[in-house]
Amino acid sequence: MTIELREKPLTAKDFKGKVDPDWCPGCGDFALLRATQMSVAELGLSPHQIVCVSGIGCSSNFPGYFNSYGMHTLHGRALAVATGVKMANQTLTVLVTGGDGDGYGIGGNHFTHTARRNVDLTYLVMNNQIYGLTTGQVSPSSSLGMKTKSTPFGNIERPVNPITSAIMNGATYVGRGFSGNIKQLVRLIKGAIEHPGFAVIDVFSPCVTFNRDNTYDFFRQRVAPLEDEGHDPSDWKSACERAMEWDDRIYTGLFYQDQAVQSLHAREPILDGGAPPVSHVPEAITREQRDRIVRRMM
């Protein structure tokens, strides 16, 4: 047996990965990494109990910087892979990390269906409203009019609203954070991990290199924590109304939570009654099972 010394509780430091982040100095992703490390430590999780799944992009390098099992998968596919992980071994805590292009652009289809299925995942989107790793093109969450290398005359497409999209598609825990407020991020992430269903946290994570519009200052002047507004997260209409506000005031915090909806693995009949994960059950089928199958063929 490996000795899991739990006398000394793990701290955020214990969740530091093998390598240091190669993000640009000042990148908003550092704050989310730190907040995630603090959150899992405070929840008493161990690295081997967690799988962190990502796609491709600056923020998708996250698993390499985080000490847990990790899967650095294909661009846009993290949610599909993570669903496979969670459904095959429901005992694992599965985090999914990525960016706005990865999640709302190329991976948009999986976003819709993962929300609808209410897969028990914690999805952390580092939303910088730009394609950073490809050196600055418009993203699905870039603001109207934004000038980028692929929209030199200004973006003519309206941005996606991740909060209302997540709620409308069926996500049962929907929050928004900001890299400038780690305390709030930790609260949101801990709540997301503890929430038994699909939890989405859209995080304003400024790209200090390619996005000159949505900077730390831009957000500092506008963010308004929902905690201070007396918002009721069970009220989806109010959540959507507040999520639509953008210009002068941008709300952060927990917009919506519904704990009544069962997660996908809780609904799955073959996992009824606390069945072990399919990843760890014996492969062989029994002689009786074989005989029943063959009898039906005769």
Partner 1 sequence: MSQGFDFSIAIGGAAGQGIATPGNILARMFVRRGLHLNAYNAYQSIIRGGHILLTMRVREQEALSHGDHIHLLLCLNQDTMTRHLRHLGPGAYAVYNADNITPGEHQDGVHLCGMPVTELTGDAKNKLAQNTAALGVIAHVLGLDFEVLESALTLQFQRKGEAVVSSNVAVARAGYEYSSANFTPLANPLPQNPDPLAVWTGNDALAMGGAAAGVKFYCAYPMSPSTGVLHWMAKNARELGIMVRQVEDEIGVANMAVGAAHTGARTMCATSGGGFALMTEAIGSAAMMEIPVVFINVMRAGPSTGVPTKTEQGDLWQALGASQGDFERIVVAPQDAHDAFGTIAEVFNLIDRYQCPAIVLSDLLISEGTFSVPPDDIDMSPPIERGKLIRESNGDAGPYNRYLDTADGISPRAVPGVPGHVHVVATDEHDEEGILISDEFTNPIKRRQMVEKRARKLDDYFTRVAAPEVEGDEDAEVTLVGWGSTAGVIAEAMEQLQADGVKVNRLAVKWILPFHAEAVTEALSGARKTLIIENNHSGQFHRYLRSETGITADGHIRKYDGEPFMPHHIADGVRAHLAGDVSGGVFVPDQEILV
According to the binding rule CB under 8 A, does residue 53 interact with partner 1?
Answer: yes
Torsion from C-alpha of 30, 36, 38, 42, nearest 10 degrees: 180
Q: Is 228 in the site for partner 1 (CB under 8 A)?
A: no
Among 81, 163, 189, 193, binds partner 1 (CB under 8 A): 81
Residue of 38, 41, 85, 250 interacting with partner 1 (CB under 8 A): 85
Residues in the chain: 298
The residue (of 110 and 222) whose beta carbon lies closer to partner 1 is 110
| Nearest distance in Å: CB 2, partner 1 | 4
Nearer to partner 1, 234 or 279 (CB): 279
In the block, residue with structure tokens 């908003």: 28
Q: Where are the alpha helices (DSSP H) in the chain?
A: 29-42, 78-88, 100, 108-117, 162-169, 182-194, 216-220, 236-244, 264-267, 287-296
The radius of gyration computed from the CA coordinates of the chain, to the nearest angstrom, equals 20
How many CA atoms are closer than 13 Å to the CA of 29, on its beta-carbon side? 29
Are the CB atoms for 243 and 164 separated by under 8 Å?
Answer: yes
Report the C-alpha gap between 251 and 60 in whole angstroms. 25
Question: What does DSSP assign to residue 152?
Answer: T
Q: How far is the CB of 96 from partner 1 (least distance, A)?
A: 10
The residue from 30, 69, 216, 218 that contacts partner 1 (CB under 8 A) is: 69
The window from 97-105, 225-233, 252-260, 281-289 that contacts partner 1 (CB under 8 A) reads 281-289
Binding letters toward partner 1, positions 231-260, x by CB under 8 A: ------------------------------
What is the binding site for partner 1 (CB under 8 A)? 1-4, 17-19, 22, 46-49, 51-53, 56, 61, 63-64, 67-74, 77, 80-85, 87-89, 91-92, 109-110, 112-113, 268-270, 275, 277-285, 287, 289-290, 292-294, 297-298
